[in-house]
Chains A and B, each alone.
Chain A
Amino acid sequence: MSTSTNGRTAAKAPGNDKLAEAASWLDDRVGLAALAKKQIRKVFPDHWSFMLGEIALWSFVVLLLTGTFLTLWFKPSMTEVTYNGSYDLLRGVKMSEAYESALHLSFDVRGGLLMRQVHHWAANLFIAAMLVHLMRVFLTGAFRKPRELNWVIGSLLLLLGTLEGFTGYSLPDDLLSGTGIRAADGFMLAVPVVGTYVSFFLFGGQFPGDDIIPRLFTAHILLLPGILLALIGAHMLLLVFHKHTQWPGPGRTNDNVVGYPLLPVYTAKAGGFFFIVFGATALMGGLFTINPVWKFGPYDPSQVTAGSQPDWYMGWPDGALRIFPNWETHLWGFTLSWNIFLPIIVLPGVVFTAVLLLPFLEAWITGDKREHHLLQRPRNAPSRTALLVALMTFYGILWEASGNDLIATHFHLNLNYITYFNRIMVFVGPVLAFIITRRWCISLQRGDRDRLLHGYESGIIMRSPEGAYAEKHLPISVGEAYSLTARDREELAPPPSAVDGNGVANRRARGEGLRWKVRHFWFAHDIEKPTRAELEEAQHHADHELTMHEDGHQHLTESGYTGDYELDGTPADGHQFDGRHDISGDELRKGH
């Protein structure tokens, strides 16, 4: 901090006195120049996948803006009124004030329907973007030390965002949303011991009562967004503090961050991206109908529509609920509804906790305590990638199961068989996905290794004197070779022995042994990058192949032919890459 007291020496940018004056005025009062000088030109690396979290961030801002607009007209009240608005088909129908105001917003407020639809689209986008961002972070290993806590915050954001979505789409009090609340009441009632009390306290008595909409409204517009905002703030602060991860490459190491400055490049790119997200959701709100509440009618606990489904992110627990066996236990005068409690209360809790703990689980397996700022390609962590794909498969099967009735009617399939199929696939699918993905990753690793050792496929086919054809491989650039090898070697220590070197029993051997087994399972099949010696050997081999003898002859050792034969010696005629020429000076590929 400047020790100056006259306020005239601070923040003087050359040739810009007015800016300096304004900065001085501010710094005299808040003194942020020391922080600002670092952050204004803070460097962010560039990659398309870093944009996913940004979509989530900006769609949240869109939600705040459109949501505020909606609150100006929406009435969170369950008081019964008779509809007398613009929509002919419901005139004279008794409904809650909440539903009436949702209709009023949709039909009588200019831009009201647009804002409702933008809000709903942005909510779906918000949660989708968070989920994809989470997968990106996991697949690239961006969750590793020192970023574990930001992973935890991000997972909480996903959970709270889901709850925020549920409380939001429950507000209009139409037939579909009311059916959702009815089911949620059934979930609560299934909780052992306290379930009935939770339900009565939440609904202010029996379902539906007249308290639930105002209470969900408070949660939806105050409580949950407040927590979301605070967590998003913490998420961003940690991002700035840690500096963004980057892909390895020439000049891009674990100790630096290479990219463009916040001002002006990322201010323009990220700021511009806000307008793109807002613009895209506005177009969707204008062109694509979502949640047409007027078609569903007001909530009536004795009515339901076939094909009732929650928003997409609620699908997977709903699918679990659909395929779960109908187990219920009656003990000592009490009822335990396993068929509801396990799939809809316990399972999401377990899955969420598992996701929350993934970084710590992996750190335990690897025993890695270093800081990681370089991203990993998914193929270079085959078991991790396979684990995520297994989780995605689990999620996907359950999600698909939540549409079992629609699949049955659209594809003319037997609903019961679909359900039996899902009951098996929810267990078998993730295992298959794990095995396939891991083998796939390992093959890709082999491909990378071949590319390093033998070069890229040039597309030039050579014919040997015996008549055999082979494709010529040419060396890849140093930059690409460096990027491909910029990863850690996963070296497996030998299994821990029960006694140490002095013959003293190792008390932790049992735990360490388990950890060694898991680590072995995790890494043992990975393909390591080539060593320097292997690379040099391959290089030597290739050089030899391309070396031209002084007499104009060249060996083609790979084809098995050991003799010499004539070269024509003419310059570039289309045949110069036939392997009989020294190509060191030629431009083989035009730079793109």
Chain B
Amino acid sequence: MTTHQEPEPGNDEAVATAAHGTAPAVVGDPIADPGLPPHEPRPTDVDPHAERRAERQVATLFGLSTVFAILFVVSYFAFDVGKKPTVIAGYGASNVALGVTLGLALLLIGVGAIQWARKLMSDVEIVEMRHPASSSEQDREDAVAALGQGISDSGIARRPLLRNSLIGALAALGLPAIVALRDLGPLPRGDLAVTVWKKGMRLVNDVAGTPIKPEDVEIGQLINGEPAVFYEDKPDGEPKFEGTRLNDAKTKAAIIIVRMQPGDITPPKGRENWGVEGILCYSKICTHVGCPISLWEQQTHHLLCPCHQSTFDLADGGKVIFGPAARSLPQLPIMVDSEGYLVAQSDFTEPVGPSYWERG
């Protein structure tokens, strides 16, 4: 058989292979290894014109890459971003130009390098022998002996007192490592069970914070609401809730207000007085994993969560009628205050949002 290979400088394995060849097994199962086929020369190996052409191709690719790198710099300065971005054909010119020029500058280097490898670098296959992953038996024995010698020198087996006290000390170090993380956050102390809602707090819409009268709500309408306190200021003029604290409170206090035909509603026991003239108020936070819900189907009184498609029947106490959520949407009991605006009768009577272990 012919393997057509040069002895590799410094590569003993390849040299050995070249000398012996990959000797085909005498009897194969069922066919003997015919050995590597002879090397077929490429056009660039035998035709100097083809070789020069390939060289020119590669150099052209690298040259074009340089051109695109320069065009990238030109685009960087030529096209504006910010308040008055350069727009060409509806696209932000800067991003498109930078992406295309950078992409082509990179691609052409890659294509050129691979073309170089395929056309001009030697395509003679080299054979290298494998060795088992394992070390020699002797090496293994020596390693085990060295390990044994080391362990024995340390005396860790003969001195259990030292060994055990060390293990104890290392284990105790785990305590500082864990305890040091204690201040990552406060302990949950029932915070998930309460919201900012309380008796007499007005329901406002979440766009402008305007309070809502029953006559403002049409039958079939859904209003995204919030507690009025989010729009109130402290005596010093600062908002009572802002930034992160506002988001924390909103996560639990967001509501939806819907109005249905009073006859369509079948209030659960004890909730007969939780609504006002067919207006009911529910938590907006899904009881599954906490997405805000607002896909409202007024004909069926169904509310669909856009995250995992749990569906709640708002005419039937917010009961789950489809999807992965396990619990009804918590309902906020509402009434009308002396000025005729919708207000809460109390906080939610159960924790809102996703279930958690201590929820009960």
Contacts and interface: CB of A to CB of B under 8 A. Distances in A.
Contacts of B79: 110
Interface in B1-43: 1, 3, 8-11, 13-14, 17, 22, 27-37
Given A179-B307, A321-B324, A43 B128 contact: yes
Contacts of B14: 41, 43
A314 interface: no
A412 B130 CA distance: 59
Contacts of B327: 328
A282 B248 contact: no
B237 interface: no
A272 B117 contact: yes
A278 B107 CA distance: 7
A13 B8 CA distance: 12
A185 interface: yes
Given A258-B126, A259-B126, A302-B284, A328 B355 contact: yes
Contact of B132 (A199, A274, A318, A371): A371
A203 B185 contact: yes
Interface in B215-242: 224, 226, 242
Interface in B316-357: 320, 322-327, 353-357
A163 B288 CA distance: 22
B30 A535 contact: yes
Interface bin, chain B: 35 or more
Given A37-B10, A272-B111, A326-B324, A482 B128 contact: no
A277 B334 CA distance: 60
B130 A205 contact: no
Contact of A286 (B9, B99, B181): B99
Given A200-B185, A286-B98, A479-B37, A275 B322 contact: no
Contacts of B272: none
A347 interface: no
A308 B307 contact: yes
Nearest to B255: A302
B206 A280 contact: no
B284 to A, nearest CB: 6
Interface string A43-70: 1000000000000000000000000000
A93 to B, nearest CB: 13
Contact of A404 (B254, B309, B310): B309
A405 B306 contact: yes
Given A321-B308, A531-B30, A257 B128 contact: yes
Interface string B58-102: 000000000000000000100101110100000010111111101
A513 interface: no
Nearest to B9: A13
Contacts of B247: 208, 299-301
Contact of A264 (B103, B111, B117, B184): B117
Nearest to A88: B83
Q: Which of B10, B99, B327, B359 has the most CB of A within 10 A?
A: B99
Given A189-B354, A340-B288, A286 B324 contact: no
A276 B292 contact: no
B114 A268 contact: yes
Contacts of B211: none
A101 interface: no
A250 B34 contact: yes
A250 B28 contact: no
A242 interface: yes
A107 B103 CA distance: 20
A250 B354 contact: no
A114 B110 contact: no
A206 B355 contact: no
Name the residue among B32, B324, B353 with the largest chain A CB count within 10 angstroms: B324
B250 interface: yes
B48 interface: no
Nearest to A320: B324
B326 A327 contact: yes
Nearest to A79: B243
Given A201-B185, A272-B111, A186 B354 contact: yes
Interface stretch (A127-135, A190-198, A454-462, A540-548): A190-198
B171 interface: no
B9 A302 contact: no
A302 B254 contact: yes
A337 B326 contact: yes
Contact of B127 (A197, A207, A256, A419): A256
Given A265-B121, A279-B104, A326-B320, A251 B114 contact: no
A254 B29 CA distance: 14
B113 interface: yes
A257 B130 contact: yes
Contacts of B127: 43, 251, 256-258
Contact of A259 (B125, B206, B284, B295): B125
B30 A532 contact: yes
A146 B133 contact: yes
B109 A204 contact: no
Contacts of A283: 99-100, 103-104, 107
A569 B267 CA distance: 100
A256 B128 contact: yes
Given A38-B11, A257-B127, A257-B128, 11 more contacts: A38-B13, A41-B10, A43-B14, A43-B126, A195-B357, A197-B187, A253-B33, A256-B129, A275-B109, A322-B323, A337-B356
Give the top 3 A-B pairs by smallest Cβ distance, nearest first.
A286-B99, A186-B289, A272-B113
Interface of B: 1, 3, 8-11, 13-14, 17, 22, 27-37, 76, 79, 81-83, 85, 92, 94-100, 102-114, 116-118, 121-123, 125-130, 132-133, 181, 184-188, 191-192, 206, 224, 226, 242-244, 247-248, 250-251, 254, 284, 288-295, 306-310, 320, 322-327, 353-360
